[in-house]
Each structure stands twice: as C-alpha cells, then as structure tokens.
Chain A
C-alpha cells in the first residue's frame, strides 16, 4: 500500500545508500572499539541511514506530499547553460563560454525575448571580464588566441 511514490522512492534510496556505504565499509579494516579502523565509522553511519530510511519508508503508506510541480524549463535551460560553460571555456576561453551560458540560462524564464537577452548576455560577459580578470586578477584565458 503506497500512497506517495516520491516519499517511497526517496526513502528506498536512503536505505540503498546506507546499505551500499555499509557494504563498502566492510572492505576497509574495521579495527576495534579501542582502536577504530577506517571502516568503523562509515559502517555505523551506513546502518543508521538505512534504519532511518526504513522508518521514513513506513510513512509512505499513510502520508502524501501533494502534487509535485517539476520546473522542467529551468532544469533544461540551466543545466544546458552550465554544461555549455564547462565545455566551451577550455577550447574557446572565458568570454565565449560566459556569453553562451548567459544566453542559454536566460531562456529558463519563459518571458525572455531574444534581443534583450543578447544585449543582457553581452553586458554580463563584459562584467565577468571586468570583475574576474581585471579586478580579481584570476588567470583566465579571456578568448583563446586573442586575449
């Protein structure tokens, strides 16, 4: 009898996580209570977490969290922006990566319009250059091959 699947799966996840850590801990020397080895503390923690997960799991039968509203639009655009930043900064430098990431993340808001977003991203890119390169002096390649 499961009333709330989010509670159910998250609690099951906790049990699994605790169990995994406890299992992995057995691979390290446990030591004794007197001289604890590296495996002792995580083993105990793993058991505690699995136990807590089980108690929370019981609640999934009677409780509900209400309908979940997943913010798909921000999830998609902002994840893409962060990945784009990471992928572009190496080969192209800080400024192109910033510009593209700003462009992508701005569209997480449904009311964003292309032209203001381009202007905004350009301003933000200039700001990043001013703050991180000019003021803080962090050694970034601004634009590979140019700056």
Chain B
C-alpha cells in the first residue's frame, strides 16, 4: 500500500469542523511549518505529495526546487484546478471572463483566445490544454508522475455529460508532461462508466472510501462492488472521514478492501502521521 501525503490540513480545509479548519490554517500559515511537516513525512519514507494547485503551493515548489539533492525522490501529484479560485472567478467575471483570466498572457494562442478567436473556433481542446499548462507552470522542473483532475471539475463534467473532456485531459497530461492522468471524484461508480465510455483504460481514480460511507455517492455497496470487480486503480481518500472514524477502525476497513493501491491522508502532527502510517503498514502486512 502506497501512502500519499495530502494537503487539506495546510490550507485550512476540514470537512468536519470549521474550528479545526481555522486552527490548522493558523498552524500552517508559514512555509516553515508546512515544510517541517512535509519533512517528517519525507523522512518517514513517504515520497508522494498530493497537492491542490492552491496559490500557496508556489512557495512549497520553489523551496523544494532549490534543494534538489535533499528532495530528490519527492513526487508532486498536482490536483487541478483549485476549485474556489475558479468558482470565485466565475462569480466575478462570468464563465468566459474567468476562462480568459486564467489563460497565459504570453503567446499567440493565448492572445488570440483572449481576443475571442479561438473561442469562435470552439476549440475546447486547445483551451483545456492552455488551462492545464497554466496550472502546471508552478511545477516546472519537479517530478509530477500523476496529474489529477480535481473533484469539483471531474464531477461537474461528469454530471454535465462532457466526458470528451476527460479524454482531452488524459491525452494532454500524457503527451505534454509524460504523466498519468488521475481523476478525483465523489461519484465513483458513475465516473467509472464515463471513463470506460471514452476509452480511458484502467484509470487512476481517487475517491472517498471509508467505513462510514461518507461522501461515497452511489452508496458504500456500489463502491465495494466496483473496487472488487472493475478495472481501475483506486486511491482511497477521506479514509478517516475527517476524524469521524477512529483511525484503527478506519484503516482496517480500507486495508480489507481488495486492490486498493494507495491511501491519501493528511496529518497536522508527526504523532498523528506516524499513527496512521503504522496502522496502514500493520493492515497490509
């Protein structure tokens, strides 16, 4: 079982408590505090950092890039886009305005798009590519073996039936970055159907998998069936349901599921990190 280190705690995201979210936002205000925690994880052998393309990520990337020897094995697994950034922009600027605002300022294509030319050609594929490139800029020179489409975007496209865009995303991250595409979702069974339908074979899918059935849309039974029977590479997130399930019970459940290759979790203290890590190692021993 591979352990991926998550980033919710760094950016004040907690699905169970606003007080906890604020406490974590305060704790990790400074880059130092974030790097201290990442160093603990790295020192304990966790090599993958799954991170949303939050604006604060730039400092983390710069820090790591500056010390290539120290972080030689660190993998970044970007999750894009950071949904609130886009949602706020859509509220502010409208859908088209928001898209334009995220396009690069340099380059003929970007300029043409801002002028509406590419929009007129309805070239959504090149638009998607430009948006991905804009989000990937911060990772230049770093190792990004998997690039994830973040759940609000995955599930919005899924709900709207725009599965072509999954294909475009997959093609672009493979061709341009040599990375594997990953998809984060709250609607696993439905997403599996959609990805199968657009020919994305054996996809990497990160979804809530926990004993409480929390944020497992379609129901825990459908998830268990999918994990047992369908061809995909599952990554479990929300395994602790933001602290609602005791760690031992939570990890035992996930480890009892067949074929789960990785677990992503965030921790805000070394003790918490080591507790969960030890449980995972026990559970898969």
Q: Do A and B bind?
A: no
Footprint of A on B, CB under 8 Å? none
